[in-house]
Structures are given as structure tokens and as C-alpha cells.
Amino acid sequence: MHQELPTFVSHLECSATGKHYPPDVAIGLSEAGKPLLVRYDLEAVGQAIDPEGLKTRRPDMWRYRELLPVRKAQNIVSLGEMQTPLIPCPNIGRRLGLGEPSRLMVKDEGRLPTGSFKARGLALAVSMAKELGLERLAMPTNGNAGAALAAYCSRAGIEAFVFCPADTPAVNIRETGLQGGRVFRVDGLINDCGKLVAAGCEAAGWFDFSTLKEPYRIEGKKTMGLELAEQLDWRLPDVIFYPTGGGTGLIGMWKAFDELAFLGWLKGPQPRMVAVQASGCAPIVRAFEEGASEARMWENASTVASGIRVPAAIGDFLILEALRDSGGFAIAVSDPEIEAARAEMGAEEGILMCPEGAATFAAYKNALADGRVGKHETAVLFNCGNGLKYPMPDDSQFIDLNSPIDFMELTAPAG
Ligand SMILES: *Cc1c(COP(=O)(O)O)cnc(C)c1O
């Protein structure tokens, strides 16, 4: 039963200084206080597996195990992280005058366990916590990461402590509690919750599971990039729109494309990476436009898209690097644009996005209008969470069975 997986981790590397660290020990940030990245012996990976060899494997994120760090199969903590669909948008494509078949696609990550792509990162990170013998994990979260942490920890027999900003949606607090997490609201923003976690780690021996403060969550998020490449037969889209908070997914996908390029599996060029933020919290957009290599903290952050309300990201320099290296950009959209985009995507394509996912559609439309993306280009939008978790509009339509019903009026176009 104690099956060793063919793993190829060679070392951990400081993302800022390049200093090497040994793998297989519990570790947070590098000595420089920067995120650590997992490095693999990619030559050996290339000898062990090729795209053809993947085809017979189960359709989930663990099919890429040679590019993942878990060493023992029994440490994999899984809730069924299936491949998420890549859904074309033919109706919107027609309206926007894109070519046929539509070059606009939504990668719907809302289908994953716990209803968001946080499942990918935390399935992997909690599996590694199990492998490394950690017993108490703590994190600050705007909601979805906490729910995923709680779910995977409960399965693994690990305790989860979750701290959310005061106005985190009730559904996130409740799902976290119901899945066995110890969850608290805190009267502050996500960075205040982060400070609280750091203090608790000192005082109570929790392990800090904040975004990018341990090396493995990004490896789970990386599977979005591996999966996208495989779904498109190793020909990546021209542009990827990613709703960017801490940026784990964007950094992770960029890392994935780099590894795939090294392996020689990619048939075309790398995509342009686009970081989408809300205009009420856009530190990365500001830094990108200023030509800065790091982002200043965003004061008074506010947006309906709580998953991207991250005023300061520890991986800011990595996000900015990926945007620039890929020839991409950063773009901010307003809350009204997000709401409108969400309604359009639902009504025209039947895709119920979360506000953060809708932000990518709003950003795509703006970038199409100002020429930063062409109509002939293939674009993928990331819908990162299940739309059902978020506030939805009007539910007041009512039929009184005791009054006459005017079916013609019912049938007339709404509005
Ligand atoms: C966490 C989250 C994001 C941001 O993802 P990062 O990879 O941390 O930037 C966006 N949308 C939703 C719904 C999220 O839960």
C-alpha cells in the first residue's frame, strides 16, 4: 500500500535570490522573506513521461504527478479534483464579432470540490502537510481558500484555523465551519488577518498556510496551466485573463508553461498573461503601469469581488515579472462592469460566473475595445469559483394563483 510515486523534486529555490533549499522538510518563506518555488529534475521528468503516456490516466490533477511534489501515494488528500471544462462562448463571440468558431473560452473552475480553484492548491498543499507531518494549519482568507483548507484538512486529520475579514460572505464562513474548520471573522482586511496568523504561529505552533508563504499551494494551482495545455492539445491560447488577488494561479500557470516549454511539449508560443483586478483594489495594475517591479499596498481596498480584494501580495514581483515576460498586461474593471459582465455571461451563454470570473470577461471586453487583444486571438477567461456562492439578483417575480394570469404579459420580453 505504501506506494512511492515517481517524483522528481530536486530542491526548493528562493524566488528572489535563487538560493537553494533542501526539499522534504516543513518550510515557509526563504531567509530573504520571499516565496520558495519547487524545482524538478525536468530532464528526468522528460524521460519518465510524455504527452502520449498521460492519455490513459485518470482525468484529474494527479495525472501530472511527475510534475508534482508528493512522494507517497497514501499522502494524497483528494476530494475528486476533476478536470474542469473549457467552454466556448459562441453567442457572445457572435455579438462581439469574433471569428467562428468562437475564440473566447471560459475555463470553469467552479466545478471543483469546495466550489473554487482553491481546491487545486489546497489539495496539494495539505497533501504535502500530511507528508511532512504538520498537525495545525492556519490561514488568512477572503473565503474560498479557507473552505478548501478546512475540507482537505478534515480529510487528512489535520486541524485548520481560518481567519476572515469581517465582511467575508456568510456562505464562506459557514461552509468552512461545516467542513470542520475553526473559522473566525476579524475586524480588519486580509493583511490584518495575515498578521494575526503570523502571531498565532509564534504563540500556538500553527503552520502558516498564507498564500505563497509555503511552497506547495502554487504547485497545485500550476495544474490549471498543465491541464489547459493538454486540453488544447499543447497549443496554448494567445491570451489568458486571470482574476488576480495573491496571484498564485497566475504565477503557477506561468511556472507550468515554463516547465512544459523545457520539456518540449508545447506546440506553439506561450500566451500573454493578463492580471485582472477591481478598480477598488488594483495594486498590481498600478505597479504595472508605473513600470515598478513591486506593488505598493492599496489603501481602503473595496470591491464586490472579494477573492481579488488583496491590497498587498507577497508574490507581487513574480506576478509583475510574469506579465512582462509574457508580453501581457494588467487591467482594472469597476464593480458595475463586473456585475454587468456577470449578467451577460449568465443570460447569453448560461455560464454562472463568480464576480471575480466576471471581472475577467469585463476586462476582456475592454481589452478588445482598446485593441490590446485582437478579435482573431484565442482568449481564455478563468472563472475561479462557483457562481452559486455569491449574491444573485432579483427574486421578486411572483404569481398569485388567486388572480387571473396574463400569459401574454408573462411571455413578453422582460424589462
Ligand atoms: C482566491 C481567489 C482569487 C484569486 O486567486 P489568486 O490565485 O490568489 O490570485 C480569485 N477569485 C476567487 C473566487 C478566489 O477565491
DSSP three-state, residue 277: strand
Instruction: Give nearest CA residue, ligand 1 atom 1.
Output: 307
Asked if the model's pLDDT at residue 415 lies above 70, the reply is no
> Which residue's CA is the nearest one to ligand 1's atom 4?
245
Query: Grid cell 455571461 — which residue?
Result: 345
Number of alpha helices (DSSP H) and beta strands (DSSP E) in the chain: 14, 13
Please state, rounded to an integer, the average pLDDT across all residues of the chain. Answer: 95
If one residue of 384, 386, 390 were mutated to test the ligand 1 pocket, choosing by the most ligand atoms within 8 A of its CB, it would be 384
170 alpha carbon to ligand 1 midpoint, in Å?
17
Most confident of 220-229, 305-314, 383-392: 220-229
Query: Per-residue pLDDT tens for 216-274?
Result: 999 999 999 999 999 999 999 999 999 999 999 999 999 999 999 999 999 999 999 99
Taking residues 168-175, what's their average pLDDT? 93
Please indicate whether residue 184 or residue 394 has the higher confidence score (pLDDT).
Answer: 184
Q: Give the model's pLDDT for residue 169.
A: 87
Give the position, in ligand 1's atom list, of the atom nearest the Cα of 249: 7
Burial 224-256 (b: 16+ CB within 10 A, else e): bbbbbbbebeeebbbbbbbbbbbbbbbbbbbbb
Write down the pTM of the prediction: 0.96
Nearest-angstrom CA–CA distance, 271 and 255? 12
Residue 2's CB: how many other CB atoms inside 10 A? Answer: 7
Mean pLDDT value of segment 374-402:
92
Give the Å distance between the CA of 366 and the centre of ligand 1.
21
Distance 383 CA to ligand 1 centre (A): 10
**CATH number 3.40.50.1100 given to 86-112+217-389:** yes
Residue 391: burial class (beta carbons within 10 Å; 0-12, 13-18, 19+): exposed
Q: Ligand 1 centre and the CA of 19: distance in Å?
A: 28
* Per-residue model confidence as pLDDT tens digits over 52-110: 999 999 999 999 999 999 999 999 999 999 999 999 999 999 999 998 777 999 999 99
What are the backbone angles phi and psi of residue 282, rounded to the nearest 5°?
A: -130, 55
Question: What does the domain layout of the chain look like in residue ranges?
Answer: 86-112+217-389
The string of DSSP letters for 180-194 reads T-EEEEESS-HHHHH
**DSSP character string of 76-108:** ---S--BPPPEEE-HHHHHHTTPPSSP-EEEEE
CA dist., res. 322 & res. 172, Å (int): 30
Beta-strand runs (E) in 270-355? 272-278, 329-333
List residues bridging with 331 in a β-sheet. Answer: 276
Query: Residue 191 and residue 87: Cα distance in Å, rounded?
Result: 35
CB 103 within 8 A of CB 93: yes
C-alpha cell at 226: 498543465
Ligand 1, atom 6: closest residue by C-alpha:
247
Give the Å distance between the CA of 265 and the centre of ligand 1: 28
- What is the per-residue pLDDT for 135? 97
- Residues β-bridged to residue 330: 275
Q: Give the count of beta carbons closer than 10 Å to the beta carbon of residue 308.
A: 29
